Amino acid sequence: MWERSHASGQVSAVGPSDDDLTQLLTIRAFERKLLDLFERGMLNGTTHTCLGQEYVPVALEPLLRPADHVFSNHRGHGHYLARHRDPEGLLAEIMGRRGAVCGGVGGSQHIRRDRYLSTGVQGESLPVACGVTLHLKRAEPGALACVYIGDGTFGEGGVYEALNLAALWQLPLLVVVENNGIAQSTPTARNMAGTIAGRAAAFGIAHLRTDSVDLDAIRTLLAPAVAAVRQGRPLVAEFATHRLGPHSKGDDTRGAEEIAAAHAADWYPRYAAADPERFARLDAAARARIDAVAADVTGREPA
Ligand SMILES: Cc1ncc(C[n+]2csc(CCOP(=O)(O)OP(=O)(O)O)c2C)c(N)n1
Ligand SMILES: [Mg+2]
């Protein structure tokens, strides 16, 4: 068991590949488009955007394999897009239009595609992932399950039953905690005693923590521990991250100062400053693509 903190600093000198940057910018454009569609009354139900947290699944994706399972949560659009690169299918799902990934019955939070599954029920995925990893350990050694959960979800008892079994049975379970410091309207400091590191340690489970937004630095930090997960050494990988937007839509209870601090930590201006010309070009392309996807999907008939 070990813990390491990773200073954020600047983005690495080499910078992200065009593909990485396009992934980041496509997810951002997608989330912005959703809020825009909501404001114009074109979407029903609710949605939770991952604005500010896009880099987490983009950083993780090359560490994962097609045979791995990914379990996502209510804030899962970035997880899905990093895994499947399918904004058309996801927007159609959210809007209930033809081409929807799950026939339009799953919506924003309940998506299943191949070995990807999301749920809006906090803490539901971890016990399920334990069962899946027990199967993988026996039938497909080397494969793992990656589960994304938020800091607030650490208040669910099922999380601890799952961590207990993962440690006891040496399951290939990767728990990615997107610690954005808040659960809906409750700051983490007001609902969590101790730390995520301490809770992992209580089960003898390895824990890494990073506040970096640098894709290369994150991958370098996590790669050996993810390789160990495949050998049955579960890991809690904690990202100290920031939620830029409201919890869902129009329900941000934070003060202006706190919201400004989240924006100050955002990856977007850092990557823009590191390589302005390339960033602007790829950003314009990503926005144009999402504009086209939205125009296409909103014109389709119901699923
Ligand atoms: C079992 C359950 N309880 C409550 C909710 C309502 N709910 C949805 S998101 C959320 C907060 C989750 O906070 P966190 O885990 O920190 O994730 P974040 O929203 O910050 O990404 C709550 C309480 C739910 N979806 N499921
Ligand atoms: Mg949270």
Establish if 9 belongs to a structural domain: no
Establish if 112 belongs to a structural domain: yes
Query: Using alpha carbons only, how large is the chain's radius of gyration in Å?
Result: 19
State the closest ligand 1 atom to the C-alpha of 188, by its place in the atom list counted from 1: 16
pLDDT at 10: 58
Give the domain CATH number at 180: 3.40.50.970
Residue 301 is encoded by which pair of tokens?
A: 């008939």
Instruction: Read off the pTM.
Output: 0.96
pLDDT at 7: 43
Q: Give residue 107 CA to ligand 1 midpoint distance, Å.
A: 17
Establish if 49 belongs to a structural domain: yes
pLDDT at 270: 96
pLDDT at 250: 82
Distance, CA of 31 to CA of 13 (rounded, Å): 28
pLDDT at 9: 47
The per-residue b/e assignment along 245-267, b for 16 or more CB within 10 angstroms, e otherwise, is bbbbbeebebeeeebeebeebbb
Domain assignment of residue 249, given as a range: 18-297
Establish if 287 belongs to a structural domain: yes
Establish if 285 belongs to a structural domain: yes
Q: Give residue 72 CA to ligand 1 midpoint distance, Å.
A: 12
Cα torsion 247, 252, 256, 257: sign:
negative
Residue 50: partners with Cβ closer than 8 Å, 6 or more residues away: 27, 31, 56, 75, 76, 77, 78, 79
Q: Give residue 57 CA to ligand 1 midpoint distance, Å.
A: 19
Residue 9 is encoded by which pair of tokens?
A: 């600093």
Of 50, 147, 184, 254, the one to substitute when testing ligand 1's pocket (max ligand atoms within 8 A of C-beta) is: 184
Establish if 61 belongs to a structural domain: yes
Q: Give residue 185 CA to ligand 2 midpoint distance, Å.
A: 9
pLDDT at 11: 62
Residues of the chain with pLDDT under 70: 1-14
Considering only CA atoms, which residue is closest to atom 2 of ligand 1? 122
Q: Which ligand lies nearest to the CA atom of residue 181 in the structure?
A: 2
User: How many domains is the chain partitioned into structurally?
Assistant: 1
Establish if 302 belongs to a structural domain: no
Residue 116: partners with Cβ closer than 8 Å, 6 or more residues away: 69, 70, 72, 79, 80, 83, 84
Query: What DSSP string runs through the chain?
Result: ---------SPPSS---HHHHHHHHHHHHHHHHHHHHHHTT---S-----TT-THHHHHHGGGS-TTSEEEE-TT-HHHHHHHH--HHHHHHHHHTBTT-TTTTSSTTT--EETTEEE-SSTT-HHHHHHHHHHHHHHHSTT--EEEEEESGGGG-HHHHHHHHHHHHTT--EEEEEEE-SEETTEEGGGT-SS-HHHHHHHTT-EEEEE----HHHHHHHHHHHHHHHHTT--EEEEEE----S-SSSS---S-HHHHHHHHHT-HHHHHHHHSHHHHHHHHHHHHHHHHHHHHHHHTSPB-
Over residues 209-244, the pLDDT tens digits come to 999 999 999 999 999 999 999 999 999 999 999 999
Residues contacting ligand 1 via CB (< 6 Å): 74-75, 120-122, 150-153, 178, 180, 182-184, 243, 247
Of 77, 122, 159, 180, the one to substitute when testing ligand 1's pocket (max ligand atoms within 8 A of C-beta) is: 122
